[in-house]
Amino acid sequence: MTASERPHVLIVGGGFGGLNAARKLRNADVDVTLLSRGTSHVFQPLLYQCATGLLSEGSIASPLRHLLRRQKNAHVALGEATAIDVETRTLTACRSDGSTFDLPFDHLVVAAGMQQAYHGHDEYIDWAPGMKTLDDALTIRRTLITAFEMAESLPTAEERRPWLTFAVAGGGPTGVEIAGQIRELALHALTNEFRSIDPREARVLLLHGGDRVLPSFGEKLSRNAQRTLDKVGVETHLGVHVTDVGPDHVETTTKNEPKTTTRYEAHTIVWTCGVEAVPFAKELAAALGASQDRSGRIAVGQDLTVPGHPNIWVIGDMMARDNLPGVAEVAMQGGWYVGKLIAAEVESGGNATRAPFKYRDLGSAAYVARGHALIQAGPLHLSGRLGWIFWGVIHIAFLAGGRNRVGTVLNWAATLFLGSRRERAITFGDSRIARNTYFTNARKNAS
């Protein structure tokens, strides 16, 4: 069979699920196209460390073309899936300039992931970036560093206070991790670098609707995490919903009666309150006649295919199956499973037996503060320094690329022993904004 006659496997998404599916097809007699919205595979579990200056974006992002450079049957295409024609087995994608192109497929694997959910208040994104992309991380880093610089330049404590108040909405792993890192940044990295302010006075608010932080972990681990947050100076506010966000404030309202509203003056707000499916999920569900859950995830069968479409799989965060969590390990195992299944299908001429997908839960991990992390894997529950060590080993093991692993370990070691964080350069998004932002803002203030 010539290369042009081989079955064509189209994979949408370059995250954990998509990349692992492509890799599993390395030796299969197929042509693989990996369609990705970005050029790199991003290790999302460490985005918060990029946002707080501990790691560079290069440490947690590896170019997809580089990762697949030795896989001769794989091709990487840059674009975003927008539509699908099931009858002709064609997917339409949009290029960065707005033009479109079509990609044929014999087997389709959709691993497009999720995006930050604002629950009907998409306007919040202007003032409260999420923690799902490199752009989010760099936006937060720019806002964090700018806040300390602004406070340094202001003459009174009253003027400085909103700039030194940082609010994090959401008490899950991402919220706890970013809140703890902001305090670490203030306590260790910036302590001796300013003259007019004391960065240690930075106020970090963790706003959470539940009755305890890290509700996906056991109660004992959650309590341990809360004690650590208290120790490093994170102010935790439980049982509250964020009900308003603006350029200089965040407002919360208690869940229980009597309803009490509190307004905090803050220029830096981070949003980690849930996720929702990317727009393509709705298009895909409509074309396939598939059902979606409240977050837009697509229901799949035991072999992770969409019912009625044995050649179309949905994996990772975007699939709804057995209440599996939206974590990296689910996506990775799903990618391996589907890649192996497609390879067997091709080799057997479509007669391979499809064993149901079985997820092996390897546990959960969360970084709380320096010297303290949580590990929960079945009966194994670790916290404190031992959990911190295991957390580091696990994350290094799953980082893509040897260079990133070595670089991350060196960065962590330097920060631990020297206290500094060198990844604090800020950018403005593009050349026009960088050229005009100070001048434009000055004119606005003057008027």
Contact 79, 53 (CB under 8 A): no
Tokens read off for 6: 């081989």
List, in order, residues 6 or more apart from 11 with CB less than 8 Å away: 18, 21, 22, 32, 33, 34, 35, 108, 109, 111
The helix/strand/coil state of 53 is coil
Is 177 among the residues known to form the active site? yes
What is the total residue count of the chain?
A: 447
Based on its alpha-carbon atoms, the radius of gyration of the chain, rounded to whole angstroms, reads 23
Paired residues of 91 in beta bridges: 84, 103
Indicate which residue of 177, 329, 345, 423 is catalytic.
177
Contact 46, 60 (CB under 8 A): yes
Contact 261, 253 (CB under 8 A): yes
d(CA 291, CA 297): 8
Contact 394, 327 (CB under 8 A): no
Alpha helices in 25-156 (DSSP H): 47-51, 57-60, 64-67, 134-153
Q: Please provide the DSSP assignment of 35-90 as one string.
A: EESSSEEE-GGGHHHHHTTSS-HHHHEEEHHHHTTT-TTEEEEE-EEEEEETTTTE
Known catalytic residues are: 177
